[in-house]
Structure 1
Amino acid sequence: MDKFKKYVLSTLAVAFLSEIYFYPFTSTLRFSVGVIALNLFILIFDEISELKLAISCSMAVFLIRNILVVTFKSITLQQAILLDYPAMIYYICFGLLAFSIKIQRDKDNLVKTILLLALIDSVSNITEALIRNNISASMIKIIILVGLTRSFIAYFVYWFYKKQELYILNREHQKRYSQLNKIISNIQAEMFYLRKSMKDIENVMSKSYNLYETYKDDEKLKEKTLNISREVHEIKKDYYRVLRGFESFLKNFENDGTMTIADVLVIIKDNTKRYLEENKKSIKISLDFKDQLVLKNYYSLFSMLNNLIINSIDACDDNDLIIITEFSDEENLYFEVSDTGEGIDEEILPYIFNPGFTTKFDEATGKASTGIGLSHIKNIVEDLSGNIEINSRLNIGTKIKLAIPKKSLIG
C-alpha cells in the first residue's frame, strides 16, 4: 500500500469511527472511538506524518459531523460549524503535539508510549473543553482517565498487530528457507556426479594421451588422438569451472550459518506435508528427535533424510505409517527412517545402492526412475565417514539406519 492510500484509508477510518462515542460518568463532553484508531495508525505507519494525518482527520471529522448534523437535526449549517469546530481543533492540537514529541521514535517502549499518547490526548481534550467553555476539576480527571484508557487500548491493538505481523513473516521466512534447503540439497546431489564425471574425464584424457604417445609415429592417428586429447581437455576445463562454482556457492552457505536439529525437523515436516498433499496421499508421519545440537553440515543431513522419506512415501499406501527418529551416543548421531510400506525383495537388496538401479516406474509413461536416490545417500554417508544399514521385508516394511559421526555434522 502506497503512502497516499494509507493517508486516505486512515483518515476515512478515523472520521467514521469518530461517530462512535460515549459520555463517561454522565459528563457533557463526548469521547469518540476515532481517537483510538488515530493512535493506532500513528503507531503502525512509520512513514506517515502524525501532523498531516491529524490535520486530514480533523477536516474529515468536521465535514462528516456537519453533514450528519445538518441532515438529521433541525439546525443550520452555521450552528453546526459552531458546534463541531472545537473537535477539529482537538485533532490539530493532537497532531502538533504528536509531531513535536515524535511519538513514533520510541513506540516500542510500552510504558513511555502509553503515557505520551495519554498526555497528548488529555491536553488536546482540555483544549477542546476550554473552547467549549466546559471545563472543571472533575472534567479534567475524566479527560485524563479516558486518555489513559484510549492509549492503552490503541497500544494493545498495535502490540497484537505486530505479533501477528511477526508470525506471518516467520512463516514466510520458514517457507523460503525450506525451499532454499531443498534447492541446496539438490545441488549437492548433482555435485557428487560432477565430481565422478571429473574423474572419468581425467581417465579418458589420460587414455587418449597414451594413445597419442603410442601412435605418434603414425601421422594420421597422431593427429586424431591429439585432437581427442585437446577436446577432452576443454571439456575438463568447463567441468572444472562449473564444479568450482558450485563448491564456492555451497561453501558460502555452509560457512555463513548453522542450524539446530530441531530446525531441520521443522523443515522436514513442512516438505513432507507439502509432498503428501501434492501426491494426494494420506500417510501418517511420526518424527521424534532427541538432541538439540547445532549442525554446520546440515544440508547433507537434510538431503539424506529428504531422499529417504520420499522413498518411504513412494513405497507406502494410504494409512501406512512412516517413523523418523534421531538419537545419539558419545560419537555418533543416528537417524532411522522406517515405514510399513511394500518392502523390498530380499533378492534385490544387495543392488539397491548401485547407481541407476531402480524398481520404480512412472505409471503414466512407463519410464523408469533415475535410480540415483539411494546411491546418492550412500555417497553422502561415506563422505561423512558414516555408515548405512537397511532391513526390509516384503509386504512388511523397511527400516534404514544412518550412523554419522558427530564431528562430521557439527563441524
Structure 2
Amino acid sequence: MFEQTFNKKKRIKSIFIIAIGVAIASQININFFVPGFIVTLSVVILPVFLYFYKEFNPIEILFVTGIISPLYRGVFLYFGTGNLHNTIRFIGADVLFYFSYGILFYLLYWRKKKTGITDLFISVFFCDFISNVIEISIMLHFKRYSYIMFQDLAIIAFIRTVIMICIILLLKYYKFLLINEEHEKRYRRLILMTSSVKSEIYFMNKNNADIEGVMKKAYLLYKIISEQNYPLQLKDLSLDIAKDVHEIKKDYISVIKGLEEMVGKKTDTAEVDMAKMNIKDIVNIIKTDVLKYIKTNKLNISLEFKLEDNFNVVEHFYIVCILRNLIYNSIESMDKKKNGYIKILIKRSEYDCILVVSDNGKGIKEKDIEFIFNPGFSTKFNTETGDICRGIGLAHVKGIVNDVFGGTIEVQSTAGIGTEFTIKIKEDNMEGEPV
C-alpha cells in the first residue's frame, strides 16, 4: 500500500515537472499568422519528454500541461495587453492545442506495441501540424483559410520535428557514451583486481609447498621422538605440531581453491581469463590506473609508455601484475623527488618480447642488488612507525616471469641515479601456451 502511494506521488510529481518545463519553454516564441498565435520552443521539447517518459500516458501529461502552460502564458499576456477577453480566447485555443496533441500522440504512437524512430517522426509531425491547425482555426473562427497557411504550418511542424529527433538522438548518444565509459571503468577495475588476486594465488601456491615441507619435517620429528626414549610429553607435542600444520595446510588449500573459483570459474572473468589480450589494451589499462594514482597523490612524476611492437598476451593478468608492480616500485623509489620520470618500453627482438621499466629514482645499492628478488627482502623502512615493507613485490615478479612465462628478469641500478628492469619472454610463451 505504501509503495503504491509512493509511486503515485512520484508519477504526479513527474507529470507536473514536465508541465512546468513546457510552460517555461513556451516563453521562447515568435508570433505567426495572427496575433496570439505563436510558435514556441515548448512544442519542440514536449515530444522529447513524451519519448523519454513512455511509462506515462501522454493524454495525462498533455491535459495537465494544457492547463498549466496556457494559464502561465495567459498571465503574461493579460498584464501585457490588459485585454481579458482576448486573453481568455487565446488561452482556450492553447488548451485545445495541448489536448488535441495528447490525444493524437496517444492514438498515433503511444498505444502501438512496436515503434521506431520513423514512427516517432511521423506521429510528432502530424500531432504538431493538426494541433496547430485546430488552434489557428479557433482563432480565425474557422474562416480565412489559405494554402500558404497550411503550407507554412507543415513546414513549421517538419522543422520542429527534425529538431526534436536530433535532440533525442543526441541525448541517446550521450547516454550511450556515459554507459560505455562506465563499462570501461568497470572492465579496467575487473582486470586490475583479478590480476592482483591471481598473483596472490600464485604466491600462495608457492607458500603451500613450503607448508608441505614443514608438515613433513614435523611428522618426521614425531617419528624420531617416538623411536627414541624421549618423554611422552615431547612425543605428544611433536604430534600436535604435525597435526596443526596439516590443518593449516587444509585451510590454506581451501582459501586458494575459493579464490581460484572466484576469478576463474564463478564470475564473468572466466571468459576474460581464457581470451588473449592485446598488449596495447594492457598498456592503456595500466596507464589510466597509474596516471590516476599520480594525479590523486599530486606527485611530480611523468609517465611514458613506448610501444614499438604490438602482440597478444595469453596470461594477460600476470603481465598486468608484473608491469604494475615494477611501475609502483619506481614511484616509491622517487621519495618525493622533483621531476621524476618512469619510462616503459615494450618491443620485440627476434623471438623475444621485451619489457623494460626504467626510472630516475634513488636507485639500489650495489650490495643489495643480489638480494632484491628474495621473498621478505626490503630496503623500505618507515622511520615514523618502524614498519618494514613486506618485500614480496619483486619476488612476485621474478617468480611469475620465471615460472609462468619461462622468461628472465635483469636489473641494472646506480644509487642516486635510477633503476632499469628488463624482462625477456619468448614470443611463443607470451602469445601461446605458457610453459
Query: Which residue of the other structure, out of 229, 240, 262, is the alignment partner of 2:253?
Result: 240
1:305-326 CA-to-partner distances (Å, cap 9, x unmatched) read: 1111111122232212211222
1:298-352, Cα deviation, whole Å (9 max, x unpaired): 2211111111111112223221221122223574432221222222233322111
- How far the C-alpha of 1:203 sits from its partner, in A, is 1.5
Aligned partner of 2:382 in structure 1 is: 362
Which residue identity lines up with residue 238 of structure 2 in the other structure? T
Match of 1:124 in 2: 131
Structure 1 residue 193 corresponds to structure 2 residue 203: yes
State TM-score, norm by structure 2: 0.84
Amino acid at match of 1:54: L
Q: Which amino acid aligns with 1:281?
A: L
1:361-398 deviations in Å (ceiling 9; x for gaps) = 23543422221111111111122222212222333322
Aligned amino acid, residue 154 of structure 1: M
Q: Residue 89 of structure 1 is aligned with which of 76, 84, 96?
A: 96
Q: Does the 8 Å contact 1:322/1:339 carry over to 2?
A: yes
Any residues of structure 2 matched to 1:199-238 within 5 Å, and which?
199-216=209-226, 219-238=232-251
The equivalent residue for 2:339 is 319
Q: Deviations along 1:129-187, whole A, 9 cap, x unmatched?
A: 33332642211111111111112222222222223323333333333333333332332
1:102 aligns with 2:109: yes
Distance 2:211 2:393 in 1: 23
Q: Which runs of 5+ in 2 are unaligned?
A: 1-6
Change (3 A) 1:231 1:332: same
Shift of 1:61: 1.2
CA deviations over 1:80-99 (Å, ceiling 9, x no partner): 33322222222222222323
Alpha-carbon shift at residue 32 of structure 1 (Å):
0.9
Matched, 1:285 2:298: no
Alignment: residue pair count: 409
Separation (CA, whole Å) in 1 of partners of 2:397 and 2:208 = 20
For the aligned residue pairs, the C-alpha RMSD in angstroms reads 2.8
The corresponding residue for 2:80 is 72
Q: 2:398 aligns with which of 374, 378, 386?
A: 378
Q: Distance in 1 between matches of 2:15 and 2:314?
A: 47
Letter in 2 for 1:260: N
**Is 1:6 aligned to residue 14 of structure 2?**
yes
Letter aligned with residue 189 of structure 1 = S
Alignment CA distance shift 1:12-1:375 (3 Å): same
3-state SS of 1:347 partner: coil
CA distance in 2, matches of 1:409, 1:331: 10
> Does the 8 A contact of 1:184 with 1:250 survive in 2?
yes
Question: What is the CA–CA distance in structure 1 between the aligned matches of 2:361 and 2:214, rounded to whole Å?
Answer: 43
Corresponding residue to 2:194 among 157, 166, 184: 184
Shift in alpha-carbon separation, 1:81–1:408, aligned structure 2, 3 A: farther
Task: State the match for 1:344 in structure 2.
Answer: 364
**For the Cα contact (< 8 Å) 1:254–1:296, is it kept in 2?**
no
Q: 1: distance between equivalents of 2:255 and 2:83?
A: 82
Conserved 8 A contact 1:24-1:142: no
Contact 1:254 1:297 in 2 (8 A): no
How much has 1:15 moved relative to structure 2?
0.9
Contact 1:106 1:113 in 2 (8 A): no
Gap regions ≥5 residues in structure 1:
none
Q: Supply the distance in 1 between the matched residues of 2:15 and 2:427 (Cα, whole angstroms).
A: 56
Indicate if the aligned counterparts of 1:184 and 1:299 stay in contact, CA closer than 8 A: yes
> Quick one: distance in 2 between partners of 1:45 and 1:251?
41
Cα offset, 1:244, TM superposition: 0.4
Which residue, 10, 15, 29 being the options, matches 2:23?
A: 15
What TM-score comes out, normalization by structure 1 length? 0.88
Letter in 1 for 2:14: K
Q: Distance in 1 between matches of 2:327 and 2:121?
A: 52
User: Would the aligned equivalents of 2:109 and 2:119 in 1 still touch at CA under 8 Å?
Assistant: no
Q: Distance in 1 between matches of 2:95 and 2:309?
A: 62
Alignment CA distance shift 1:394-1:212 (3 Å): closer
